[in-house]
Amino acid sequence: MESRDLRLLLGVAEGIGTRALSEALGSSEVTVRRRLRRMVGPTGPGWLRHSESGGYEVADLGQDAVGLAKQAVTSLDHIAASLGVDEVLLSHVELVMAVVAAGSIGGAARGLRLPQSSVSAKVSRVEERWRTTLFVRDQTGVRPTAALADLLPRIALVEQAATRLRGRPDRPRCAPPSPHGLEMAIEVGFSGLLEALVADGLDVSQHVIEIPGREWTPTMRQADICLYLDLPMASLPVPAGHETAIAFCDPLYAVVPARVAAGRRRIGLGELAGQDWLTGAIGGRNHSSVVALCRSAGFDPRVKYTSTHSRSARHVLNAEVAVALTSAAFVPGTTAPTVRLAEDFEVRVTVGWRRGGTLADVAHRIVGWLRLAHSRRLAASRPELLAEMRADPDRWPHLTGT
């Protein structure tokens, strides 16, 4: 699948004829017809079928793909306009994102099953085509330049759409069949996860839950799979008959008033002793974690706001009248600055499942999807942090191979 296949799908959906498509793409009619034939039937993606008039029309499977193709093409055009080039190819975007996610040319080469020299040469050609330097190379690997960092949100949209269009979510190719009718309880949602599981042929329903205390809730115990946060010093014990796996870990950050942040990159918990605090409900898991962390730094937090409602919490944080703890992946939508804690505390995103059957296979697919999504999110929002974490695989093993 290439960019032109997506444009052909959209063109057929709009009723554009073969000759007009060839003119729009700058290709011969023979080439366009050949590409269209490849999009018909079981040997291709099955997006098109022959129409009664002798042309092509969008098949049922193609109808589902049109929206994703439009998302990918729109983002590709936006990237091209930002770079000042005529066209950006889907294959180039996927290569760039593979290098970003791996953190090195060698890591990307292993993931793509290509020689490192080949991937390095391909990256150089993309930089030439895009007329910009994309990576800074050093002894620890590569990191995105400022120019690439600005493009990463759009690049991520392209890759997400392409992954779903190919019908191959991020999972092992030869995984055994999975059960249907799965019930999944989630404390935190991840955009695209449910869609990826459905595209994988699973019949999944999910329920958003709250975990008020320090034990699994009845909903978590009854669900086939659950997804939750293990907070520092308030970890949830795993009940009998269940297993868990850590999808990824995130270092703790503090949301603080601008006058406290003062452009700093790190801040110690002890420096926040005199501030008002925002936590979850008194006695709840979030509150217990914050209290335990602050006491480890030698003080009791002055908890003034206890709101689990995100809108109320954002209002308090935007007003910069209290501090709160968060993480790299779960920063609330606030204008207040976030500063990484000097202490080495972390939040663990955990997947749990009922022991037995093939649930472990599904759970590990989810773990793999979450790990890759996490590395992509950091690449787009905190590339410096991603590079630092990749340089310490003993502490952040979940980033190895993503």
3-state secondary structure 261-298: HCCCCEECHHHHCCCEEEECCCCCHHHHHHHHHHHHCC
For 182-228, the pLDDT digits (tens) are 889 999 888 788 877 877 677 888 888 888 888 999 999 989 999 99
What is the average per-residue pLDDT within 255-268? 91
Per-residue pLDDT at 50: 80
Q: What is the pLDDT of residue 169?
A: 40
More confident residue, 177 or 304: 304
The predicted pLDDT at position 27 comes to: 82
Determine contact, residues 379/152, Cβ cutoff 8 Å: yes
Closest to 266 in 3D by CA, of 350, 388, 135: 388
Instruction: State pLDDT tens for residues 52-61.
Output: 777 888 887 7
pLDDT digits (tens, 9 = 90+) for 134-157: 988 877 678 888 888 888 878 888
CA dist., res. 56 & res. 54, Å (int): 7
Question: Given pLDDT bands bounded at 50, 70 and 90, which one contains residue 177?
Answer: very low
CATH 1.10.10.10 fits 3-166, yes or no: yes
CA 338 – CA 322 distance, rounded (Å): 12
What's the pLDDT band for 401 if we cut at 50, 70, 90? low
Mean pLDDT check: name the lowest of 53-62, 164-173, 280-289.
164-173
Tell me if 57 sits within 8 A of 8, measured CB to CB: no
The pLDDT confidence band at residue 175, using thresholds 50, 70 and 90, is: very low
pLDDT for position 182: 85
pLDDT mean over 97-120: 85
- Residue 339, helix vs strand vs coil: strand
pLDDT over 50 at 178, yes or no:
no
Query: What residues does each domain of the chain span?
Result: 3-166, 173-402
CA–CA gap between residue 43 and residue 366 (Å, rounded):
29
The pLDDT of residue 179 is above 50:
no
The two structure tokens encoding residue 135:
């990576």
Domain covering 173-402, topology: D-Maltodextrin-Binding Protein; domain 2 (3.40.190)
Whether residue 80 is predicted with pLDDT greater than 80 in this model: the reply is: yes
- Is the pLDDT score of 173 beyond 70? no
The pLDDT value given to residue 43: 56
Is residue 142 classed as helix, strand or coil in its secondary structure? strand
Is residue 259 packed enough to be buried (19+ CB in 10 Å), middle (13-18) or exposed (0-12)?
exposed
How high is the mean pLDDT of the chain? 84
Q: 43-47, 162-166, 342-346 — which one is most confidently predicted on average?
A: 342-346
Q: Which residues, including other chains, have CB under 8 Å from residue 131's CB and lie 6 or more apart?
A: 83, 84, 85
